[in-house]
């Protein structure tokens, strides 16, 4: 059986990944606090708080995607130590817990692959991003270290998207003017849709990406790559 585990697959990018890949896997296990709206014979859902609950037992998997994240944008004098701690827990500790739990299952799988998520804010200095950039930078370090440690058995890569049109980013796109300003900030005159990020995740999980591990893939719409 070809099985994919998606953590946080009921909303945003995670939902797009699940929807895109249902026909490519015999079973997708979606582990999230929110129940998915859609049902499908290939989809199994476990309601679970990743940080606080015991994860369901899975004996074999071919892929793992960790989607939970945070966008906690505040000036440094308004960021509490708990803000930094909470962002680190969601982005890093959650990833580590899930990988440690399901690494035996992945090693039982066929050409297993892990996909994590970072952000363009780790490369591009952006005001008010101190907490999320710090935690996502740790995700990038984890990706590179585990890429080396788990080779050649398990591949692991991370996607670093710019602003994506999801509930998580709704405050950044909450009206037409803000959305237009966001478009103008990017050299490609666009921001991301969840499906675009899901397509990249699908590629990294596939055999087409067999030569990639420990890499950070910046989906930046040119905001890091270009200065026009």
pTM of the model: 0.94
Integer CA distances (angstroms), 39 to 15, 28, 96, 193, in order: 12, 11, 29, 22
Q: Tokens 């005159």 map to which residue?
A: 189
pLDDT at 191 over 80: yes
Residues 88 and 206: their CA atoms lie apart, in Å, by: 29
Q: By C-alpha distance, which of 83, 90, 134 is closest to 116?
A: 90
Q: What token pair was written down for 147?
A: 């890429």
pLDDT at 228 over 80: no
Superfamily name and number for 3-164+193-219:
NAD(P)-binding Rossmann-like Domain (3.40.50.720)
Centroid of chain to Cα 32: 13
Task: Pick 168 or 120 by higher pLDDT.
Answer: 120
H helix runs in 108-175, sequence order: 130-150
Residues 70 and 89: their CA atoms lie apart, in Å, by: 10
Q: What is the mean pLDDT of residues 99-103?
A: 98
Characterize 32-46 residue by residue with b for buried, 16 or more Cβ atoms within 10 angstroms of its Cβ, and e for exposed: beeebeeeeebbebe
Helix axes 130-150, 94-107, angle to 10 degrees: 20
Task: Find the angle CA(151)-CA(156)-CA(158) to the nearest 5 degrees.
Answer: 150
Give per-residue pLDDT as tens, 104-145: 999 999 999 999 999 999 998 989 999 999 999 999 999 999
- pLDDT the model gives residue 68: 94
CB 219 within 8 A of CB 191: no
- pLDDT the model gives residue 175: 87
Terminal alpha carbon distance of the chain: 49
């Amino acid at each position: 059986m070809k099985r994919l585990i998606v953590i946080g697959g009921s909303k945003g990018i995670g939902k797009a990944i699940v929807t895109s890949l249902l026909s490519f896997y015999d079973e997708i296990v979606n582990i999230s606090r929110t129940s998915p709206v859609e049902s499908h014979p290939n989809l199994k859902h476990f309601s679970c708080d990743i940080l606080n609950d015991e994860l369901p037992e899975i004996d074999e998997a071919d892929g793992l995607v960790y989607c939970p994240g945070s966008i906690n944008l505040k000036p440094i004098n308004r960021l509490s130590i708990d803000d930094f701690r909470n962002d680190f827990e969601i982005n890093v500790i959650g990833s580590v817990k899930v990988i440690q739990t399901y690494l035996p299952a992945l090693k039982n799988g066929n050409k297993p692959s892990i996909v994590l998520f970072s952000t363009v804010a780790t490369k591009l200095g952006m005001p008010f991003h101190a907490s999320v950039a710090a935690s996502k930078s740790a995700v990038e370090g984890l990706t590179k270290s585990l890429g080396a440690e788990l080779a050649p058995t398990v591949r692991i890569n991370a996607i670093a998207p710019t602003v994506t049109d999801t509930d998580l980013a709704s405050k950044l796109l909450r009206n037409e003017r803000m959305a237009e300003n966001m478009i103008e900030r990017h050299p490609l005159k666009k921001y991301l849709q969840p499906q675009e990020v899901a397509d990249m995740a699908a590629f990294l999980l596939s055999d087409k990406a067999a030569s990639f591990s420990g890499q950070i893939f910046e989906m930046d719409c040119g905001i890091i790559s270009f200065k026009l």
